[in-house]
């Protein structure tokens, strides 16, 4: 079979990336499902946790998720200018596996060290593997959108495995067994990437062209930055630096927002972009705002919604109490089920010239997110009267959030691949994931506020989220008018 159509009608290299992403997401989501539960677990009794307060645990969770996606920005820069995307993915995958195995060691210091390794490894892998997907296709290849949808399914197959395996081991046997299982999964990903990397050919293989002197200077400053970073991390792990998680998370959210805004301004005003590239950049900035808002609600699944599942939901099925994390694989199962349907809907609408613009698709995603929290407000009201409530409330919430995800996330990936300035491709994917970073930190902050006083604090936070999703969705619908011809150029 032709290599260009050997994987479900797509380039055969997509298979390598599909499996690498699948195992990486297995490890990431499997471990993430345990974080808040482990940190808020009692320090005595069966399967002891860290005994942290809900507000501190959620803040640490938000910082972790934010750091994971923030590091995609320097990870893209390193791939663009020094390593090339293929080598960056390989090194990142190895560091991620090391991080999960470090988490499996039952010590507080190794817990935070392991999180740091996962953060750094994901920074090298996550954005760059998405960049390579785009590089598999020619400039105007119509298969690009469906290729990203297929790639997106790998994320959800992997997360299903992670929730299924890591949640069971972590909750029923021991937290650190769950963390270790995530490491084994990532090791599978490393092995198959090394074995089948040749199928990628030259897609993302080489960094940007520049003089040897310039590249040497970039390598030198990168090494200096890494030394400073590891010095700060080591000082924190040894107790020389202490921080309040909540205060750090709040300041980190401001920092990420400023970084994102400054970088968009730099690209628009000082990067030497052509007029058409500047117009494309404005479109991507609008999508960035919608994505950051979306992820602040979506990432509640391992935050406030996970605590709601633990404390106020009946988890028994035929006398067996299922692990809390198993509820979360409703989302990836729904994605695998509905992704082909959404791809088919967009393709059909495009054929009859009714395909919604990108801002409209993002607004649809935010409307679904608002509806999901309307469901949760009713679930909270019911739990105040008669707890525990049935699992159907969380399952319906995850279904609506999945539909929102499918209207927004794979479309956003494809848009950043298609409309980003080509010489800044890796860094633009870093910006796309920076939206996830901002959303993740906000998810931790909102989750902490929602769970600080039990059910009485959940309802007002969820009500606020409904309102701000509605406002941002309306703004996107209005902005769609100004960009209605942008996607045709």
d(CA 289, CA 92): 27
Q: Which pLDDT score is estimated for 138?
A: 77
Q: Which bin fits 191, alpha (ψ -120 to 50), beta or left (φ > 0)?
A: alpha
Of 302, 54, 263, 322, which Cα lies nearest the Cα of 159?
Answer: 302
Q: Which pLDDT score is estimated for 2?
A: 57
Q: Are 72 and 122 in contact (CB under 8 A)?
A: yes
d(CA 29, CA 206): 30
d(CA 112, CA 118): 10
d(CA 57, CA 52): 6
d(CA 208, CA 259): 23
| pLDDT tens string 142-156 | 777 778 778 878 887
Q: Which pLDDT score is estimated for 489?
A: 47
Of 464, 159, 158, 424, which Cα lies nearest the Cα of 293?
Answer: 464
| pLDDT tens string 196-254 | 888 888 887 888 777 778 888 888 888 888 888 878 877 776 677 788 889 999 999 99
Helix segments in 41-138, DSSP class H: 54-70, 72-78, 85-103, 108-135
Positions in the chain whose pLDDT score sits under 50: 1, 488-489
């Amino acid at each position: 079979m032709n290599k260009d159509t050997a994987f479900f009608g797509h380039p055969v290299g997509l298979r390598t990336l599909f499996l690498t992403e699948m195992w990486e997401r297995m490890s990431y989501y499997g471990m993430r499902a345990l974080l808040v539960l482990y940190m808020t677990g009692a320090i005595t009794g069966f399967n002891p946790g860290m005994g942290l307060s809900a507000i501190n645990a959620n803040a640490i969770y938000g910082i972790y998720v934010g750091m994971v996606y923030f590091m995609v920005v320097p990870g893209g820069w390193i791939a663009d200018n020094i390593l090339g995307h293929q080598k960056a993915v390989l090194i990142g995958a190895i560091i991620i596996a090391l991080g999960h195995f470090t988490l499996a060691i039952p010590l507080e210091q190794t817990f935070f060290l392991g999180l740091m390794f996962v953060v750094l490894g994901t920074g090298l892998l996550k954005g760059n593997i998405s960049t390579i997907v785009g590089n598999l296709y020619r400039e105007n290849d119509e298969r690009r959108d469906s290729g990203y949808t297929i790639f997106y399914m790998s994320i959800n197959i992997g997360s299903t495995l992670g929730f299924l395996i890591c949640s069971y081991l972590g909750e029923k046997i021991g937290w650190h067994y769950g963390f270790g299982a995530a490491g084994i999964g990532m090791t599978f990903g490393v092995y198959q990437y090394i074995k089948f990397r040749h199928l990628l050919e030259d897609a993302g293989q080489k960094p940007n062209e520049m003089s040897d002197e310039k590249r040497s200077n970039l390598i030198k400053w990168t090494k200096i930055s890494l030394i400073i970073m590891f010095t700060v991390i080591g000082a924190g792990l040894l107790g020389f630096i202490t921080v309040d998680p909540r205060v750090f998370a709040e300041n980190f959210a401001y920092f990420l927002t400023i970084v994102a805004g400054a970088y968009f301004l730099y690209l628009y005003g000082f990067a030497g972009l052509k007029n058409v590239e500047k117009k494309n950049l404005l479109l991507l900035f609008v999508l960035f705002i919608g994505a950051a808002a979306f992820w602040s609600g979506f990432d509640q699944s391992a935050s406030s919604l996970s605590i709601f599942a633990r404390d106020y939901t009946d988890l028994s099925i035929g006398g067996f109490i299922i692990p809390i994390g198993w509820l979360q694989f409703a989302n990836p199962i729904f994605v695998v089920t509905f992704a082909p349907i959404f791809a088919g809907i967009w393709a059909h609408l495009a054929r009859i010239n009714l395909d919604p613009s990108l801002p409209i698709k993002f607004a649809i995603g935010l409307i679904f997110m608002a509806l999901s929290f309307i469901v949760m407000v009713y679930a909270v009201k019911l739990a105040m009267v008669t707890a525990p409530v049935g699992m159907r409330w969380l399952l319906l919430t995850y279904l609506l959030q999945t539909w929102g995800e499918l209207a927004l996330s794979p479309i956003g990936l494809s848009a950043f691949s298609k409309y980003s300035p080509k010489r800044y491709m890796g860094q633009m994917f870093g910006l796309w994931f920076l939206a996830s970073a901002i959303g993740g930190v906000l998810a931790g902050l909102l989750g902490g506020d929602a769970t600080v006083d039990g059910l009485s604090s959940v309802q007002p936070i969820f009500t606020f989220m409904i309102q701000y999703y509605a406002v941002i969705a309306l703004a996107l619908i209005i902005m769609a008018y100004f960009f209605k011809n942008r996607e045709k150029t």
